[in-house]
Structure 1
Amino acid sequence: MTSTDLLRPHAEQAYADELAALAAQDDRPRPPSWRLSPRAVVDYLLGTTLPDGTVITPKYVGPRRLMEVAVATLATDRALLLLGVPGTAKTWVSEHLAAAVSGDSTLLVQGTSGTSEDAIRYGWNYARLLAEGPSREALVPSPILTAMAEGRVARVEELTRIPSEVQDALITILSEKTLPIPELGTQVQAVKGFTVIATANDRDRGVNELSSALRRRFNTVVLPLPATEDQEVEIVARRVAELGASLELPPVPSAMEEIRRVVRVFRELRSGATADGRTAIKSPSGTLSTAEAISVVTSGMALATHFGDGVLRAADVASGIRGAVVKDPVGDQVAWTEYLEAVVREREGWGDFYRACRDDE
């Protein structure tokens, strides 16, 4: 099975050609166990054109210095914490960093309220444990233990969703670079190249604060929302094109107008003011992130392809926008209705969007 057969290939599969081209022309020093030099990792994330003409596509649109700080952190003995509101590409950046540094983004612990300490440390094959007693063969290593033993990058997604007492299992790993296994009377010491990239946000419900002891083990890089409307439109357009190709949706002509409209709506509702700053508006309870804008446009493309005339129109994105905005059926509905009447209804050239949104209610 090739990566083109997969619904969502890992970064190292989807961008294998780019990673190989960068490695072939990368003559800078590489930290132990790294596949690329730190500068080449940043070039992979932000995009560049190599001397032989190979185009490296941008994976992240934002300040270069942020990515330089993140990559420099991974080249030290510190772990990296990517912090930001939902939808600021924390997971995306984490995956691509791991792919570029160690060629493997799959050593992943997904944080939830039910994540146990075994997911951080190790577990046991209980059939073998009962039959043979504690042994290396009965041990089931966590992704982090595997990364330690092999000198690779481990990822912890949604660190603040993990219960606090489980989070603290990371403290010894990050400070001592050692994981004791008392049942076997031994320990695993990290091989050079081992590091941890964690992501976290403090906006969702169910967040567990990081202890000060754990937070000190991380260098924190805050990923901001896109600074300008044009920047956010570029991000949404690129990801929608990639997702459309993966889902085998036919290219939708003239989609940029609706992409820009979705981004404008999200940015205005997020900020609580129109783009020109003249009108204050109520902000809904949701984050209205770039990731949600990508989802709205992708769903609209599917509607236009399968149930429309193949052209992305206001009606194709109206229901998706309303679903993203109205999370609280009372307060958010009021904010949405006021925005439609005070802003959308009066905006020149937006009559089709206003009617589509009203018809969707």
Structure 2
Amino acid sequence: MTASSVTPHARTPDERLAAEIARLLRPQRFPSRRDLELAGVAGEGAGAYAFYDAFWLPGRVLALGAAQVRRGGTAGALRASALHRLLRAALALQVEPAETLDLAESAYAAEFPGDDFDLAFATLDPATGRFAGFGRGHYCLSVGAQASEGEGLLPEGSVLWLAVGARTLGAVAAEAPEFGMDDLAARLREASGPGAALVGVTLRSLKRKGAHDFAIPNDLAAIAGLVSDIEATLSREEVPDMVGAALGLALDELLTNTVSYGYPDNGWHEILVDLEVTPGCVDLTVRDDGRAFDPLQSPEPDLSGEIEDREVGGLGIHFVRTLADELSYARERGWNVLRLRKRFAPEAALDSSGG
């Protein structure tokens, strides 16, 4: 290849490196859920980098974060990346909000003395609607367009907004997410100007009795612990042990296939499992943002053939189909969503307990 045949990039290598670091700051897209909906946006301003984040803490508490570093280029992108990790680590400690902020600030200042930034975070318990938030610099925390003092109760249908790069949000923040949170966040981002970052969450409904949420990283080593937790939860909900064990085995098969084959990027991802128990019925929903894959389209395995000749994962999916009374798949907001329903006779619970 001659030098004259190479098409020059419009940006310098430093600019492309900074853009790639900024891309890696984008959080995992939040899935559609029965109890809440979330959306966020972040933009690159002149000489600044901004990001938002959303992830689950132990105890099924949702953590939200947003930050802006007032420096451009690779140096700014690296600082934003460091601040992102510091915020996640500090929130994971689950200490008081003021202490969380102090930890992140002091660690950042030790590495980048004199650098200014805006930072805000909030936690939300979807089971109760209770939230708490804190921040520094140019930021705002509000329910709709009404600024919050730092903690409160989020009513069903209202939106909790967290933003940096601005101290107040415009009138759009007061609107209900009639056309979805993505639409509302995009319009609010336009009104906030370049370089701002914001994230919002709305409660569709408070968690119902018998509803449980779990999350694990895409790590095979994490599956056994999750399955054990779900089987214990089913036992507490008085689901027969035989049904709980079968659901645990089905979940193990589904998660093993997802982790093993669903993530060609080899990056970090979170897999969500929702469980709802009602009299005589268990609903299990598995959500992952791996490559699109509908297990219901997989052909039935040839059970007469040799084991080594059978397709990988085929028997596991066959078992899930056999177990479920209802099974459905959808691709929602970039996530695979598999819903499984298993019915059981209420009197079986008495039989399994010896009554």
TM over 0.5: no
Which structure: greater helix fraction?
1
Which structure: greater strand fraction?
2
Q: TM-score, normalised by structure 2?
A: 0.30
Q: TM-score, normalised by structure 1?
A: 0.30
